[in-house]
Amino acid sequence: MKPSLKTILVLVATFSSIRVVRAQEVNAYLGFGSAYDTSNGAQIETFSDGSLYKTPSMGGFFGHIGAGVFITKRLGLGTDISWRFPQGDYAGIQYRPTFYNFDAIYQPLKGRTNRFAPEFRAGIGGAHVHFFTDDDQACAQVPGCQASNHFQWHLAVATRWYVTDHLFFRPILDVHYVNNFFEFGRNWVPEYSLGIGYSLGKSQ
């Protein structure tokens, strides 16, 4: 499931409205990277043709968008969504995983400079696995098909590296703990990405 234009506009509007109540800083970013999980090792006779199709490990090229609002110099709120750009092959059926979360953000003042701003995030959200098929018989062989939703806990470590007063690069490590992520081999899903973003009202 790709994030729709409506979803993006809602996120921007929400965090822009918080800016009105004298937030210290508002930032938004777009990134690219990958999330990884192992295969659960299952083999599925997806098309009832005698052939067994192995369930995949998760990987590939992911997009990542998000925003953060700092109410004080140390504390803020944030939201992120990441999704696999190309559809992957899951036991013969095309699929796409998506992760979304809502976080509390802590920004330690120690170690922060005008150019570097580390941040730690913790929150909750969901993981969505969408399958693309019109073959009901094939879909019935795949657990969770057509779409599967899971609760997740989210942790992240990032830093904003400012190249101007407002423009920054943002390397980040996300860790998703997805409840009962049976489509894959582990509930823990690490994600790595590098983003570019823009800040308004950055505290010096």
Backbone φ and ψ of 15, nearest 5°: -75, -25
| Contact in structure between 23 and 201 (CB atoms under 8 Å) | yes
pLDDT at res. 109: 81
| Contact in structure between 186 and 37 (CB atoms under 8 Å) | yes
User: pLDDT grade, residue 76 (50/70/90)?
Assistant: very high
User: pLDDT grade, residue 20 (50/70/90)?
Assistant: very low
pTM of the model: 0.86
pLDDT, average across residues 13-22: 50
pLDDT at res. 112: 78
pLDDT at res. 144: 83
> Considering its fold, how many domains does the chain have in total?
1
pLDDT at res. 14: 54
Range picked from 104-118, 133-147, 154-168 for highest mean pLDDT: 154-168
Would the pLDDT of 8 be above 70?
A: no
Structure tokens at 195: 């983003």
pLDDT at res. 48: 81
Q: How far apart are CA 63 and CA 75, in angstroms?
A: 26
Domain residues for the domain of 133 are: 5-200
CATH number for the domain harbouring residue 119: 2.40.160.20
> Average per-residue pLDDT in the chain?
88
User: pLDDT grade, residue 62 (50/70/90)?
Assistant: very high
Which residue, among 131, 29, 43, has the nearest Cα to 80 in the 3D structure?
Answer: 29
Check residues 56 and 2 and name the one with the higher pLDDT.
56
Which residue, among 192, 204, 176, 168, has the nearest Cα to 68 in the 3D structure?
Answer: 168
Name which of 3-12, 50-59, 70-79, 170-179 the model is least confident about: 3-12
